[in-house]
Chains A and B, each alone.
Chain A
């Protein structure tokens, strides 16, 4: 598992955020003989796939599964700038749920509408480029080769729901729950969150807000480090990565937040997700 983008909302190429990183969400899951899975296609996706170009992606032989939490800009904005999308032969399967009239494909088509983005349109397969397939998630459990994926809808206050993921491969489990806002701020109220996170070796969880900020940010669709750790406590996770950092949060503030979060953990190991950090599971 490698973090390529950990920042929420908008990329922050700014000095105060340089150490933890300013790219928007992208987490790569890879193994020697398993499928390649990218959690979200934020700006980190651009740099992650640029690195893949040195291997099979550069020869048009890559097969990538991209799982979207939702289609907010920070989760999809790296896709049109990804070099592997322009190499014929590459296959990219985009998994997610409808959030725009007409479905997932139509939502992503809006991003590459020529008024906004003068790139060849790989979603319409009009120009030479990767073969893109769309998987609108209906059945919450599906298989990618030997990997079992569970995807459930998560609440976001009064906004459209987003998708959380549980990915199981050879006895190891990663749970990815970002852009989630729990009713009454209590993850215990949300069975889907508990089910996705249950016993996970690694829980990657939204921690955009501080507990003292949450009152004035109701319905923004995010969590606090306290809620992230609370879910890890309840679900018996081994580790929890605090993720989707507020664009204004400085490196020093994230250092402090990590200590505060560790203080409320009852079992799980807690750390702040940092761009470039890799973990062997």
Chain B
């Protein structure tokens, strides 16, 4: 199984010199296993992934998981070239939403005012599948579970299991200690829901080999922008420690963060990780990792 980062930047794509090394495309992560093509989020990174997939003749059936419909997680989809191929099938999974269904939002993104080709006119077969919270589904050979996270609107993380390997995608997420940012759920108090959203992070990451985590902020930045819906490395380490997860990937990098700053933060993070018993890595665009039970190695 292989993990490739096609987009690692948060909020908006950063085509500026300060972000060239770690990459400026918005979130898109590919998990490739024998005969299956699974992609998490459709930020601008998905454009080049699509071109790569089309160059591999056998790739005709894709599973796309969408954590939530904020621009940086969907804006690449209109440029995903496989969607323009008649013999391609794309299954788009996301957590159940009461209003503003994902299909409506994808369609709105490609309204004629904003984009030349409406979603409905794309030649590929596109299916939108809603996942019930906490109820695992099977897709592309993975067992996939989704749980809501503390982020404005309705956002969720994913837990993927296959061949004894577990990967958790916990992004975008704010810590639950201060504010409830997520749309409330009827029938549960705000405080109880806030605690549940915290527990959800641990459930997603429980015993995971690898957690891709929203480390957008430093603690100082978080203090100024608690309502933005993002976390710090410290929050991620705490979750990994509580969940007994082994590896954490720093992800969803702040658009203002320069490569040099990120490299320094990563060095500090590695040391902090050691004291939590967590190995810390940093998501870098274009890098591929080999995933095997008990091991995580970068591919050349």
Contacts and interface: CB of A to CB of B under 8 A. Distances in A.
Nearest to A276: B17
Interface in A60-82: 71-73, 77-78, 81
Interface stretch (A6-14, A168-176, A191-199): A6-14
B113 A9 contact: no
A118 B172 CA distance: 12
B143 interface: no
Given A116-B71, A247-B47, A247-B79, A100 B111 contact: yes
B47 A72 contact: no
Given A114-B153, A115-B100, A159 B19 contact: no
Interface in A1-30: 7, 9-15, 17-18, 21-23
Contacts of B115: 72-73
Chain B at the A interface: mostly helix, strand, loop or mixed?
A: loop
Given A13-B25, A13-B44, A72-B114, A81 B153 contact: no
Interface string A21-59: 111000000000000000000010011000000000000
A100 B112 CA distance: 8
B27 interface: no
A126 to B, nearest CB: 15
Given A13-B25, A81-B12, A118 B79 contact: no
Interface string B55-89: 00000000000000111001110110000000000
Contacts of A22: 13, 15, 24
Contacts of B15: 7, 11-14, 17, 21-23, 43, 275
B121 to A, nearest CB: 12
A159 B116 contact: yes
Contact of A13 (B13, B105, B114, B116): B13
A160 interface: yes
B105 A73 contact: no
Interface in A96-119: 99-100, 107, 110, 113-118
B44 A110 contact: no
B113 A10 contact: no
Given A10-B79, A43-B13, A115 B153 contact: yes
B236 interface: no
Most chain-B Cβ atoms within 10 A of its Cβ — which of A11, A23, A107? A11
B152 A118 contact: yes
Contacts of B112: 99, 159-160
A164 interface: no
Contacts of B44: 10-13
A116 B69 CA distance: 6
B140 interface: no
Interface in A139-175: 159-160
Contacts of B109: 73, 116
Contacts of A275: 15
B76 A43 contact: no
Contacts of B75: 10, 73, 77
A107 B116 CA distance: 15
Contacts of B70: 116-118
Interface residues of B, number: 39
A13 B152 contact: no
A14 B285 CA distance: 10
Contacts of B24: 11, 13, 22
A268 interface: no
A115 B13 contact: no
A169 B35 CA distance: 61
Contact of B71 (A23, A77, A99): A77
B13 A11 contact: yes
B36 to A, nearest CB: 26
Contacts of A46: 12
A7 B69 CA distance: 24
A125 to B, nearest CB: 19
A115 B69 contact: yes
A73 B71 CA distance: 10
Given A11-B15, A22-B15, A114 B116 contact: no
A159 to B, nearest CB: 6
Contacts of B14: 13
A46 B113 CA distance: 21
Nearest to B12: A81
B152 A114 contact: yes
A221 interface: yes
Most chain-B Cβ atoms within 10 A of its Cβ — which of A10, A17, A113? A10
B229 A118 contact: yes
Interface of B: 9, 11-17, 19-20, 23-25, 44, 47-48, 69-71, 74-76, 78-79, 100, 105, 108-109, 111-116, 152-153, 228-229, 255
CB-based closest 7 A-B pairs: A13-B24, A22-B15, A118-B152, A13-B15, A11-B13, A100-B113, A99-B113
Given A10-B75, A219-B116, A247-B79, 12 more contacts: A13-B19, A13-B23, A17-B15, A18-B17, A22-B15, A43-B12, A72-B115, A73-B114, A99-B112, A100-B111, A116-B70, A118-B152
8 contacts: A10-B78, A15-B20, A22-B24, A72-B114, A72-B115, A72-B116, A115-B105, A247-B79
